[in-house]
Chains A and B, each alone.
Chain A
Amino acid sequence: MQLIQSTPAALTRTLGLLTASLFAATGLHAQDLSPAASHSAYGPSPDARTPSSDTNSDLGLTRVDTAILFYQEAGGRVKATEPVTSVTFNGSDGEILSVKLTADSLTGATPNGAAPWKATQTFISPSKSKGVQTTTTSASGHSQTVTLPGTDIVASQYTADPHVLPLDYGFKDTRYAVDLGYSTPIDSVTRLSFGGGLSTERDFKSLSGSFGLARDLFDKNTTVSAAVNLEYDTSNPYFGTPQPLTEMSALEKGANQTKTVINAVLGVTQVMNRNWLAQVNYSVGSANGYQTDPYRLISVVDGTAGAPVRYLYESRPKSRIRQSLYVGNKIAWGPTVTDISGRLYHDSWGINSVTAEIAERVAITSALYVEPHLRYYSQSKANFFRDYLVDGQTLPDYASSDSRLGKFTATTVGLKVGLKVTANGELYVRADSYNQVGAAHPATAIGDLKTENLFSGIKATSVIVGYTFAFQ
């Protein structure tokens, strides 16, 4: 590439005069140009979600459970692979030590929070290095994008096709977690337990600890328990924490944020008869601190057509108090065991939910069982849930378009099959299909948003394959 510049000569000067008369009204004739180098970039990546699994225990044995979970959301969204290994040491005096190691690998796309629209939408976010996309000049008729200030953080952009839920494809993370638990009898009717956990990923760290006490009453027919759990989370989003309800931008944002959670559970487990065990739990918890999704947006739309005008970062309250009441029953009917449970939930964000679940374990042979299960869940929306905000209206203090805070119902249908392959070893496979249904076309939708699907909930499939065995 060669750069030329000197003083204007004949043709150019004449052309300048001719052009000036073509645009009789233009009053500018100075320019300042200098070449500069180009950069390079990679995309950012947002938040993570955590599936879970559980452990078994047998007196006097050491049990190892190794499983791998595959989780896939429909529509090319989140995909996770999660290997889990847990080891439970059951001491001869009733003490139990468990260690669980988890590694999560998440990829895919996650809804960025903006509402779908009939035309292509472009989103801009911070990114580092490689191939700066600036506005380009070209002979090919392409015009490209993004003009940048002189910092290392540059803009990257992605688009959402017309009528398609905007997804952020920069979603990729790996999470590692360690959970430790120890429980021991302190007398013939009282059991004490402690636990601790650490989970870390690129932009989020969580530290937790728990303490619990359980006491058997009435000849061990009744057990009452109480537990307290504390959690401390640090969120350090890629390129900083945005100021809630400010415009999406490629600028570097604010400092790390933290959250503390304290949760208490009171429970009663009652042997109703030889074949029936019932449990009631009441839980109350309080979370304080940063609970906003730092990557999630909310569209601000034009009040008549519904066209996107700008995109703001979402905002959630700093405090959330949750309560729930759970009732569970385990009933043995000959060769089958039925688990039936219900849960009521309420939180200070205005979400009320109901859960009903039933699972039926049927022994086919002494070595093979199947366990179909069904779960129904329904929740009301958080009081600050909005599909979008309307331009020109006063900004609320809090707003989020996260479907998890919206009104929806969800059903899970699944089947677990277990096969005893040795005296203490079992191979199991569990498959689940999860489906959320929500308000795709709310009656209040504005203009052309009436015809867009505003519900961004998920359909997901998960499969767990595991092997558990115990030894002396």
Chain B
Amino acid sequence: MWRAVEDPGPTFQIQCSPSAWATLEEVEYPHLAATAEVWCSVECVVTTLLLSGVLEPGVDNRLMIGQRLEAEVTYDGDVPTSANDVYLWSTSEGDPFTDYTADEEEGDFFPWSPGEEISMQVYFAEPSDDIEVSAEVTLSYINPQLGSPDIEFTVYANVEAVAPNLGINVVMGYGDLLYATQQPQNWPPVGVSLSNPTRLGLWHAVRNSVPWGVWFVGTVDTPNDFDDGGSGTWNWTQLVTSTDRWYRNSSSEYYDRNSNFSTGDPRLDKAFPYEATYSADGSSGVASDCPSEPIESGHEEIEIEDHFHMYMFYLPPGYDSNFVPLRRVTWWWQAHALKGTPNWSITQRDEDATVDSVESGLPQHPEWTDNIANYPGYTLRSSLIFR
């Protein structure tokens, strides 16, 4: 007779049934003496949920989002385990995931799902004060003498997932006609037309006297409690969520950018990361973008509309940590320019940038399966398409 008692406390009782008695039926061999012995053996086996990896077992189960958490059910005592044992893991919150991989062609997020092994590995993407990690255990513990039913119990551990401190600043410009030799002191004021522009581009975002299309400035600092193994790193990563670019020439032919797309999966812009990797010790990371299209001789009209997601990606310190996005900047710009006599002029332009605050302040991991750089050049548009 076997019983598992969860959380028995300092003392506990197990009732044996039947109690210590035995009967002997005298049937065919009444001359044989019979003896019976009833004994009861009680073993207290402590089962624990051991958390390892970046954590110090037995102290506080705190970790940064993106740090690897390993959990394993362990036993004090000589408890034999078998291939038939089942461990059903669960976590209460914290947006758990098993992996995130990213390169110039693909970004893939792998959410965590309950496993059935004695140990499990997980990352949390969302900060939380009270994540419960538990394993429901079913041990097929067969007593060699008596046989026994499965032993079932649950072990728990509490985890707190912490996000780093961060700051973000976005300075947005607006579309304008640009000279190849443009210098800051010669910026055309809003609305001024130009005779020989060489590009239609995003411009005028001034950051500390330096003009560009758009500036992203961020800082990330890992709290002191977690930076023993270094401070970790972070980067900017940009996706193009839609783009539409075209021009018309003097023969009234329309040419579209091959990269145009308005729906479907976003495409990575440039590289992963977008520019550089920065230390998560408060050092600032500055990225910039100046999207534009050339204006060549023979062009009569040109339009651009681009939409982007710029992510702030964090890689915490610790062995085998994984990327988690901290913030997403949703930004877009649009400009339309028309050639007149003798000057080109901007006929329409709009722009905006918003730092998204989604649940818990953190966005979902972005995924992509393509790179915008795979679509160079222009294609003559079918005359059936009316612009």
Q: Do A and B come from one complex?
A: no
- Which residues on B are within 8 Å of A, measured CB to CB? none
- Which residues on A are within 8 Å of B, measured CB to CB? none
